[in-house]
Amino acid sequence: SSSSSSSSPPPPPPSPPPPPPVGSEEKEKEGSNSRFSVRKSKVRELQELRSSLREKEFALLQKQQELEEKEQTMIVLQEQLSLEKKLRDILIEEKEKAIEEAKLAAGLCSQGGMMP
């Protein structure tokens, strides 16, 4: 079967397209206009998407900045709380020392009154 295909003549070249009928130029223009308008609407849609993305990115950056500021505030408040706890412990210690000293002084004064 391969020998018969090699002996067959090549297919004839395709015939040229028929001449366009009258009024087809207008249809071609309409087709290109509709393709142009589709492209234009897609470009517009892309521009709107980009604009929307820029707005969302800006909003996200603002939120991120707010979160960072709140985080910094929390860090400062935690440090302040830690310092206040240390100060409270120091004050309690000082108060206990003062009470002990007062007891000792009172004891010495009462003993001093017993001396001749």
Give the pTM: 0.46
Within the chain, which residues score under 70 in pLDDT?
1-32, 112-116
What is the distance between the alpha carbons of residues 49 and 61, in angstroms, rounded to a whole number?
18
pLDDT at residue number 31:
63
Angle ∠(22,28,30) on CA atoms, nearest 5: 115
pLDDT at residue number 98:
96
pLDDT at residue number 85:
98
pLDDT at residue number 106:
85
What is the distance between the alpha carbons of residues 98 and 92, in angstroms, rounded to a whole number?
10
- Exposed/middle/buried for 72, CB within 10 Å: 0-12, 13-18, 19+? exposed
pLDDT at residue number 107:
82
pLDDT at residue number 4:
47
pLDDT at residue number 38:
85
pLDDT at residue number 108:
80
